[in-house]
């Protein structure tokens, strides 16, 4: 396969910490990561975690009602541009197994198992995250991480 063909097949996995940094914290580099060309996918877990983060921020008065609404609109826009992978029993089974760099928290393990579940060779997947554990394991598993 030629390098140009590989580029056409590359996919980006968006992990929750990056999405929250973009839509809730206004992190410009995180927004840039989300805006890079190509196909994106994420776990259904990411959507639940991101919505919970927005709710927690509002309840703790870190954001006001308008900011909450804007964050939820941004999440919906993200969902419209992203393939969402359901959390299946196979993903949960994989999440329970050992990862290259332990310990791994359960939700992080679900993210890593989701990346593996799509069956795309690691050199064709980029994981975007702000989470150190996810980053270290994804790298150890052969994925590109930014």
Closest CA to 77 of 55, 47, 104: 47
For residue 39, list its beta bridge partners. Answer: 11
Query: Residues in the chain with pLDDT < 70?
Result: 1-9
pLDDT reported for residue 2:
38
- Residues 35 and 21 sit within 8 Å (Cβ to Cβ): no
Task: Check residue 31 and give its pLDDT.
Answer: 87
pLDDT for 10: 87
Domains of the chain by range and CATH?
3-145 (3.40.50.1010)
Predicted pLDDT of residue 35: 84
pLDDT at position 4 is 41
Is 33 within 8 Å of 60 (Cβ atoms)?
Answer: no
Query: How high is the pLDDT of residue 57?
Result: 97
């Amino acid at each position: 396969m030629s390098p140009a063909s590989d580029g056409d097949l590359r996919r980006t996995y968006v992990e929750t910490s990056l999405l929250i940094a973009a839509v809730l914290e206004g992190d410009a580099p995180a927004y840039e990561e989300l805006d890079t060309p190509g196909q994106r996918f994420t776990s259904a877990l990411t959507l639940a975690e991101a919505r919970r983060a927005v709710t927690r921020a509002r309840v703790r008065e870190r954001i006001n009602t308008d900011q909450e609404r804007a964050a939820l609109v941004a999440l919906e826009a993200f969902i419209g541009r992203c393939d969402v992978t359901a959390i299946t029993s196979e993903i949960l089974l994989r999440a329970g197994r050992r990862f290259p760099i332990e310990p791994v928290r359960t939700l992080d393990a679900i993210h890593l198992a989701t990346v593996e579940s799509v069956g795309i060779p690691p050199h064709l997947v980029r994981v975007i995250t702000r989470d150190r554990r996810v980053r270290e394991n994804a790298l150890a598993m052969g994925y590109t991480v930014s």
